[in-house]
Structure 1
């Protein structure tokens, strides 16, 4: 299974945290690609990364909200 498959399933099931994680790793950090095997994504699910990944995702989510707010204001 590819990361893209996980992403599409996450969208279908409205799993916002998984969507955010994949967006962050693929588009922000560019450490993964949608065509990569799921095993590369599973690496980031390890317990040892949980706290730091949650902090990164929180910051990324705030950044996205700020960009969305700026776009809305300029419209």
Structure 2
């Protein structure tokens, strides 16, 4: 008779880095003729979007490209 060997593996734990300070950006949004203009004063940048719902993601992408911060660490506070 064969002896059964029981091997136990530990669950894999993924380490998640916490966002660091300074990665929350404030943006303002204003209606224009063809859509919305999202301004990011800290970076002196503007992004144009057609729909209001696209404002936050467009601002996050712009900030990530200009600063080099990974987009998953960028938070945006949109002010009207």
TM-score by length of 1: 0.26
Structure with greater Cα Rg: 2
TM-score by length of 2: 0.25
